[in-house]
Structure 1
Amino acid sequence: MQVLQVSNVLLNVPSESKEDAIARVGNKLVENGYVAAPYVEGMLLREQSMTTYIGNQVAIPHSMPEYVQYIQQSGIVVAQYPDGVDFGGGNVAKLVIGIAGRGEEHMEVLSQIATVCMEEENVEKLVRAQTVEDVMAVLGGTL
């Protein structure tokens, strides 16, 4: 299952609100044909109900269960924020990884991202990545 494509990596995004960051990765999922537009609304609602910040400078926005009907195919979007995005409570994400997973693929994709991002060394490589190829070298093998 190859859900990470070169066109899904956004580097050096200027800091913005968490809502704008979630909308950015969500709209990229829409633009690249992974989800229909209402899925982005579900991503924003998910963040209102509970944070998608997982620690280690990483947030993984995804949608509420009732919005999975808008997923057309599994995909992820990686947005790198060198100056970070404030997710509240002192939590600053330098990587915002929007995901959309169909069926069982959702937990598989989430698990693979979490496994890679548990290692601080991997997160640092992603935060310092200068090219899309740098990101693909860290994430591309598993996603």
Structure 2
Amino acid sequence: MSVMTLPSAMVDLNQSFQTKEEAIRFCGRKLVDAGCVEEDYIAAMIERNEMLSVYMGNFIAIPHGTDEAKQYVKKSGICVVQVPEGVNFGTAEEPQIVTVLFGIAGVGDDHLALIQQIALYCSDVNNVVLLADALTKEDIIRQLQTT
């Protein structure tokens, strides 16, 4: 599975979250609803962010579960959530504003491959801007297919 096989049902535009936990739960819910993970994976996504922030710089975050949560992954999946107003993954003193979330669940080594693919694509902040400014799900899918 690669970022290139992204069904439009796994893309959400114009979302708004008060907290990073709310944003992570939203991503987890998408993965549960798509049959990628069991319900318990959502709590593991929150736990993973508490252990080590899933903020990756360049306005993106990649919420995913802990290593122990691999048992809850049924199939690899990814969702992309656009947050135009941004959500803070840092602190009030040191904000880390995220405008694009990539929620992922990976079977076996897919997990690392997905993170690497996303991180590489988003290392160019211009790519992130294109995703953050996209007006349709198709725009986002098209952008990610060019990777």
Range into which the TM-score falls when normalised by the shorter chain: over 0.9
Q: What is the rounded CA distance, in whole Å, between the counterparts of 1:78 and 1:134 in structure 2?
A: 12
Report the equivalent of 1:69.
Answer: 71
- The answer for unaligned runs of 5 or more in structure 1 is none
Q: What is the rounded CA distance, in whole Å, between the counterparts of 2:12 and 2:55 in structure 1?
A: 18
> Does residue 144 of structure 2 align to residue 139 of structure 1?
yes
- The answer for unaligned runs of 5 or more in structure 2 is none
Q: Once the two structures are superposed, what CA deviation does each residue of 1:69-91 show, in whole Å capped at 9, x if it has no partner?
A: 11011111111000001101310
The percent identity for this pair of structures is 40
Say which SS state the counterpart of residue 61 (structure 1) adopts.
coil
Report the equivalent of 1:85.
Answer: 87
In the TM superposition, what is the alpha-carbon distance from 1:115 to its structure 2 partner? 1.0
Say which SS state the counterpart of residue 48 (structure 2) adopts.
helix
Aligned-residue Cα RMSD (Å) equals: 1.1
Q: Which runs of 4+ in 1 moved over 4 A?
A: none
Q: What is the rounded CA distance, in whole Å, between the counterparts of 1:108 and 1:4 in structure 2?
A: 15
- The aligned amino acid for 1:103 is G
Q: What is the rounded CA distance, in whole Å, between the counterparts of 1:86 and 1:34 in structure 2?
A: 26
- The aligned amino acid for 1:63 is G
Q: What is the rounded CA distance, in whole Å, between the counterparts of 2:34 and 2:18 in structure 1?
A: 22
Q: Once the two structures are superposed, what CA deviation does each residue of 1:68-121 show, in whole Å capped at 9, x if it has no partner?
A: 111011111111000001101310000111100110111111111111111111
Report the equivalent of 1:24.
Answer: 26
Q: Once the two structures are superposed, what CA deviation does each residue of 1:9-41 show, in whole Å capped at 9, x if it has no partner?
A: 010002321000000000100001110110001
Report the equivalent of 1:41.
Answer: 43
- Residue correspondences, number: 142
TM-score w.r.t. length of structure 1: 0.95
Report the equivalent of 1:126.
Answer: 131
TM-score w.r.t. length of structure 2: 0.92
